[in-house]
Chains A and B, each alone.
Chain A
Amino acid sequence: MQSLAEASPLGTYLEHLKKGELAYQVTGDGKPVFFPRAVAPVTGGKLDWRVSKGLGTVYSTTVVYYKGEAPLNVSLIDMDEGFRLMSRVEDIDAMNVKIGMRVKFRVHPGDEKQPPYPVFTPEAAK
């Protein structure tokens, strides 16, 4: 097991993101795991890191309305490798994000308070 004094699961994930990579983990028998963990769920065994191809499908979606702001998309994305994450589909009107839509990963740089995080754009877009 990796020492948590040396590296954390989220820390490793963020190192990948800073290189433009969406990382996830797999168990010994190849099952994808997300969010990143220190030990494998169910078995407690070892996890290995992989980099996603960055393509996925919108599993579900909502549009959030904050006062005085443009409507904001929030979606759950099923990645082709078989893991799911929460994200946002950008470059498209929030209400036009549909379940089943194919989407492609890119990195949002974050800001001084927020480390970088993955967002998505419609795959069909330029």
Chain B
Amino acid sequence: MTKTLNNKAWFLVLPVFAIVAFSAVLPLLTVVNYSVQDTFGNNQFFWNGVAWFQELLDPSKELGGRFFEALWRNLLFSAIILMIQVPLGIAVALAMPREGWTVALCLVLMALPLLIPWNVVGTIWQVFARGDIGLLGWAVNSLGIDYNYTGHSLDAWITIVVMDVWHWTSLVALLCYAGLKSIPDAYYQAARIDGASRWAVFRTIQLPKMRRVLLIAVLLRFMDSFMIYTEPFVLTGGGPGNATTFLSIDLVKLALGQFDLGKAAAMSLVYNLIILSVCWVFYTIMNNVDAERARVEA
């Protein structure tokens, strides 16, 4: 019997192709197109080859210097918030109640910061940290500490980090809490019988069982912090100077402030590539964890 091939079914996926093309592929191609051209306005473009990319990846050039500065700044920011939010999130999850009406209360309170729109978060902290009318800024200043996030780079950094911790630690904590809840009671009972200390219980039971959700938490927090834009833009606008100019802020300055479309396109492509590669690394790690788990359960 011969199998009849009918390719008409392909028409059924056409709408998806069309939507994806218009929403993702075509805009991306436009960016690619810009990245290899230069313009002096009037919608006149000139072929420029890979010159923008060479300039971007060469730290000695103006564009490259600026890009790498923003990149390192961004990586530093991601590293700092991961180092604070992951341990803090785990600690909060461990401290949360396991049963009773307080569970619901805690969950709602924890979810609140996650529900606030990002520019509102920025505005809240912009006001909160002001030295003249902000509760935090005023309180710190009246303790005799010279704190001014619009003037000192370090203060700006501290404010942004604290703001991000306030905004996003709940996410890590909620994920960890879900991981903790999935551990059967028998594990804790066995540990008690084995005479394990609190620390040993954490090391040998809780942490291993949280490994998967922690990976997801780290991935989400890294991505979000690496692409952070709205909150620092509202809070500091990238300043003082360029102290809090992260990649996305710099990109917007370049593209919409200076209208350097070619440079901005090259930068956004490289930015995109970095994010894709990090995603791929995490994806691979998670798949390996899954594969190991599947092997264990088989």
**Do A and B belong to a common assembly?**
no
Interface set of B (CB-CB < 8 Å, partner A): none
Interface set of A (CB-CB < 8 Å, partner B): none
